[in-house]
Amino acid sequence: MKVFNSLSRKTEDFTPLDGRKINMYVCGLTPYDSAHIGHARTYVSFDVIKRCLMRKGFSVFHIQNITDVDDKIIRRCRETGADPGQLTSQNHAEALELLGKMHVIAADVYPKVTEHIPDIISLIRQLIERGHAYENGSGVYFSISSFAKYGALSGQDLDEIRAGARVEVDESKQDPADFAIWKKTDGELLEFDSPWGRGRPGWHIECSAMSQRYARRTLDIHGGARDLIFPHHENEIAQSEAASGQKYCNYWLHTGFLTVGGEKMSKSLGNFITLRQALSKSTPNALRLFYLQAHYRSPLDYDDDKLQAMEESVERIFNSLGLIREIAEDGESHEDAAFRDTSDVLIAAFDAAMDDDFNTPDAIAALFSLLRLANSHIDTGKHDRKQLKRIEKALVGMLGVLGLVEPNSGIESRKDAVFALLKEFSPGETPKDAEDALDTLVRIREEARKAKDYKKSDEIRARLKELGIALEDKGGGGVRWKAG
């Protein structure tokens, strides 16, 4: 398996430090507002990365912080009068609920800044003791000149960073580009006791402290959106390695920018879309497939028309899977060597694409090619059912990696109506469940058609349609039901 490492700017072989155990830290939300589609793109991407690693037999310990101490939170609470703890808890809970609907597997831990102030203070003490940080009148600052590798991740030149520093910086700082790891405050909404007086931690030190609190060693993977490379991730490396003397993370992975209408999302431009708004228009599967049609490192422009196309693609996927499953179920199997060879190549192509820096566009292309091949084979009427079963198993695995979940038909919720309809057309039947009742109705309708009782067959179809259940022709003959 190969991954593109933002630190080396190269594609490298992926080799975890501890055999099959992986520590992965992904920068979490600053929940001062609702989660948006850009957040979702990042978390879906790392969800697929996590799923792919798990499928390959790795154990992934996933840490994702909650930045519940931040200038944006304080500003929002001043504007609205909200309580900081309540605001961040509500927004983060909403985000996790929506990401759950997006089939994103939960992290193992979601550490909050407010619950890890002692860890942060301990890390700041280490930096001061090792000569990498100093206190002045406004807070405690990290000395970037004390860390020789500063700029390695972002490629930023230190002189350019200094030149770009704001004119109104604290003149008591040793270097204009030094950054705060503790900010002294007086009566702020969010402040804590420390050896340097009341205050709150700087943004960057929070992630360094919490990642090491839970990983307890060099991270295998650190992820986040591309816009975090500088200064956030650059500063994380500097703080963490200056304090420990050890490498902070081996592989840095970053997602590409998400735009709307070709522009960065902004409430002032009217193109800001929350995840809840997106899910009110699109199914979770369609939104995930839309994200994954682009490589996780590539830019992506949100497009309603493309999302509608994704809905149709998702429907094709699961219709084909259902048909393959049904044809593979029973009956005589006719070995087709060419079909087996070609389908095996496509199955391998999916895995090869995912092993190549999680190349979901190529993986999805292989998946659709496999579906088209299987459908064409089914249309021949002479079925290699053993290979179709192998394809079904492979497809389930592929969809599991992509996080595309087969829709629940919800048939049991319509059980009473389906039972009543069956009783009307065949009072003596005693089905075991709603699916059994539907299969019986399909059989009764087919018998009516063969007997040229078109009135009865058409009525069954129409009554099922009223219940949201459609009848579809199967390849090779026959009919199956599908619930919407």
pLDDT 10s digits, 282-303: 999 999 999 999 999 999 999 9
Compute CA 452 distance to the chain's CA centroid, rounded to the nearest angstrom: 52
The more confidently predicted of residues 475 and 86 is 86
Q: Is the pLDDT of residue 168 over 70?
A: no
Mean pLDDT of the chain: 93
Provide the Cα torsion 71, 235, 209, 84; round to 10°: 10
**Which range, 84-88, 448-452, 473-477, is most confident?**
84-88
Distance separating alpha carbons of residues 324 and 165, to the nearest angstrom: 61
Cα–Cα distances in angstroms (integers) from residue 94 to residues 34, 87, 279, 320, 450, in the given order:
8, 11, 13, 34, 54
In this predicted structure, what is the pLDDT of residue 395? 98
Cα–Cα distances in angstroms (integers) from residue 176 to residues 173, 180, 350, 420, in the given order:
6, 11, 50, 77
Sign, CA dihedral 397-399-404-408, equals negative
Would you identify the CATH topology of the domain 310-402? Four Helix Bundle (Hemerythrin (Met), subunit A) (1.20.120)
In this predicted structure, what is the pLDDT of residue 165? 63
pLDDT digits (tens, 9 = 90+) for 140-167: 999 999 999 999 999 988 887 777 665 4
Q: Where are the alpha helices (DSSP H) in 21-80?
A: 37-55, 71-80
Q: Are 2 and 356 in contact (CB under 8 A)?
A: yes
In this predicted structure, what is the pLDDT of residue 465? 84
> Got the DSSP string for 226-260?
GGGIIIIIHHHHHHHHHHHSS-SEEEEEEEPPEEE
Domain ranges within the chain, ordered by starting residue: 2-255, 310-402, 411-483
The DSSP letter of residue 106 is P
Name all contacts of 474-477 with Cβ < 8 Å and 24+ positions apart.
474/323, 474/326, 474/327, 475/323, 475/327, 475/375, 475/378, 475/379, 476/327, 476/378, 476/379, 476/381, 476/383, 477/381
Distance separating alpha carbons of residues 483 and 16, to the nearest angstrom: 44
Q: Is the pTM of this model over 0.85?
A: yes
> Got the DSSP string for 304-363?
HHHHHHHHHHHHHHHHHHHHHHHHHHSS-----HHHHHHHHHHHHHHHHHHHBT--HHHH
User: pLDDT band for position 365 (50/70/90)?
Assistant: very high
In this predicted structure, what is the pLDDT of residue 167? 47
The share of the chain scoring above pLDDT 90, in percent, equals 82
Mean per-residue pLDDT, 187-200: 96
Strand partners, 222: 25, 252
Q: Starting at the edge strand that comes first in sequence, how are the strands of the sheet with 300-302 ordered? A: 263-264, 258-260, 300-302
Contacts of 244 (CB under 8 A, 6+ apart): 126, 212
Q: Are 310 and 286 in contact (CB under 8 A)?
A: yes
Q: Is the pLDDT of residue 412 over 80?
A: no
User: pLDDT band for position 476 (50/70/90)?
Assistant: low
The CATH superfamily of 2-255 is HUPs (3.40.50.620)
In the numeric block, which tokens belong to residue 290?
A: 């839309």
C-alpha closest to that of 320 among 365, 372, 250: 372
The share of the chain scoring above pLDDT 70, in percent, equals 96
Helix pair 37-55, 284-292: axis angle to 10 deg: 80
Least confident among 154-158, 249-253, 261-265, 320-324: 154-158
Encode 334-366: b = buried (16+ Cβ within 10 Å), e = exposed.
Answer: eebeebbeebeebbebbbebbbbbbbbeebbbb
Q: Are 12 and 2 in contact (CB under 8 A)?
A: yes
pLDDT digits (tens, 9 = 90+) for 413-446: 678 888 899 999 998 888 888 888 888 999 999 9
Place of tokens 């592989």: 251
User: pLDDT band for position 96 (50/70/90)?
Assistant: very high
Place of tokens 């039972």: 419
Mean per-residue pLDDT, 170-191: 91
In this predicted structure, what is the pLDDT of residue 331? 85
